[in-house]
Amino acid sequence: MQEIGIIMNGVTGRMGRNQHLLRSILALRDEGGVELPTGEYIMPDPLLVGRNERKLRALSEEHDIDRWTVDPDLESCLEGDDELYFDSQITPRRPEAVLKAINASKNVYCEKPLATDLDTALEVARTAERSHVKHGIVQDKLWLPGLMKLKRLIDQGYFGDILSVRVEFGYWVFTGELQPAQRPSWNYRSEDGGGIIDDMFSHWSYVLEELFGEIRTVSCLGKSHIPERVDEDGEKYKATAEDAAYAIMELEDDIVAQLNSSWTVRVNRDDLLEIQVDGTEGSAVAGLRECKTQHHANTPKPEWNPDTPTEHDFYGDWESVPDNQVFENAFKQQWVEYIRHVVADEPFPWDFRSGVKGVQLTEASHRSWKEGQRVTVDELRV
């Protein structure tokens, strides 16, 4: 069995630890590796790297990982034989580290966003393409069961002409005063790359474009609804980044998308993420795992009358889309695709160009908010 060495930077953080290390790389190790088209298996061999020796040591001991090192500058790590560099640090640290890995001829896979600004993202993408390393950006939501079912409906022509898309995402993140916050404090500091626009609009970029088409324009309003929060050490700090964003985007084929993203909303829906698609022949609502539909032939005929109670069960008019397959963890499945791309040269379209487009949408959304107007998302030439 062949091994592939993976330098994993930033895995002491919540996302890097849980989704990428534990539920992806270590899960693949426990399953016997990644199967190639030839039937051969490739075993991931992680090298954990970071800034906090205590966290790295504890993580390595808990999960029986032999290789780890404190190396903020990556110098010793990049001199080794590991083929792949992975980055899930906070965004402002990512471009410098990724560029170092590219210059060391490492294949690079990283979390989104690729950078905090479009110019830097373009520099990283162009450097990667000139160097001919294999590069990829995390776009995990494409492998969520609910969105895969939604994609199945689109591919089958279920909706007829798609008219509109409505995205509702979010939940209440506690301020840290009475209950611990579920998200790290840097998420609420713009100087550290925080803010829900930077965090989520790179996701909305690839979700909308993969399922529905190119984004043409964006109108966006951001809000810092809660101005002060409490950090991991119990200290109050000023929240300088937005905790909610409200956007309207125009897509190709005259499709309109409405997106509400918030860490200051209490959930009254079936899931933390819901995407409703309405078309001439039918509609669907997709969550993280489930997807339900209502065909034109089964659509009720409601009448507006606020003077009498509504007795109709609107939820009862929807039917669930069956699984029809086994769904893997979304992060793990994209890791499998990327490792096959590196080792067996299988196609992998989710490269740094996709990452740049996410940063472009984020930057256009910030500009729209700042200028108070609709902004055209120009055709991007990496």
User: Quick one: 16 and 101 in the same domain?
Assistant: yes
Specify whether the CB–CB gap between 374 and 217 falls below 8 A: yes
* Cβ partners under 8 Å of residue 147, min gap 6: 141, 207, 211, 275, 286
User: Quick one: 100 and 43 in the same domain?
Assistant: yes
Q: How far is CA 261 from the centre of its chain?
A: 13
Distance CA 341, CA 259 (A): 33
175: confidence class by pLDDT, cuts 50, 70, 90: very high
278: confidence class by pLDDT, cuts 50, 70, 90: very high
Distance CA 229, CA 208 (A): 32
Domain of 71, CATH number, reads 3.40.50.720
Distance CA 129, CA 131 (A): 5
Closest C-alpha among 24, 125, 73 to residue 354: 125
Specify whether the CB–CB gap between 82 and 66 falls below 8 A: no
pLDDT at 134: 98
User: Quick one: 64 and 120 in the same domain?
Assistant: yes
> Each residue of 126-170: pLDDT tens digit?
999 999 999 999 999 999 999 999 999 999 999 999 999 999 999
346 class by beta-carbon count within 10 Å (0-12 exposed, 13-18 middle, 19+ buried)? middle
Average pLDDT score over residue span 279-301: 97
Name the helix (H) or strand (E) containing 76: helix 75-78
User: Quick one: 202 and 53 in the same domain?
Assistant: no
Quote the domain boundaries for residue 56.
2-139+330-350
User: Quick one: 152 and 301 in the same domain?
Assistant: yes
User: Quick one: 310 and 167 in the same domain?
Assistant: yes
- Does residue 15 have a pLDDT over 70? yes
Q: Report percent pLDDT > 70 for the chain.
A: 99
> Each residue of 322-351: pLDDT tens digit?
999 999 999 999 999 999 999 999 999 999
pLDDT at 72: 85
Domain of 149, CATH number, reads 3.30.360.10
User: Quick one: 154 and 245 in the same domain?
Assistant: yes
pLDDT at 310: 87
pLDDT at 14: 87
Kindly state whether residue 380 falls inside one of the protein's structural domains: no
- Does residue 379 have a pLDDT over 80? no
User: Quick one: 305 and 174 in the same domain?
Assistant: yes
- Does residue 381 have a pLDDT over 90? no
- Does residue 371 have a pLDDT over 90? yes
> Each residue of 216-263: pLDDT tens digit?
999 999 999 999 999 999 999 999 999 999 999 999 999 999 999 999
pLDDT at 378: 83
**Is the backbone of residue 157 left (phi > 0), alpha (psi -120 to 50) or beta?**
left
- Does residue 382 have a pLDDT over 70? no
Q: How many domains does the chain have?
A: 2
| E strand intervals along the chain | 2-9, 34-35, 41-50, 68-70, 84-87, 107-110, 135-137, 162-170, 215-223, 228-230, 236-238, 244-251, 256-262, 273-279, 282-286, 291-295, 319-320, 375-376
Both tokens of residue 341? 């791309």
pLDDT at 1: 80
CA–CA distances in Å: residue 289 to residues 23, 199, 269: 17, 21, 14
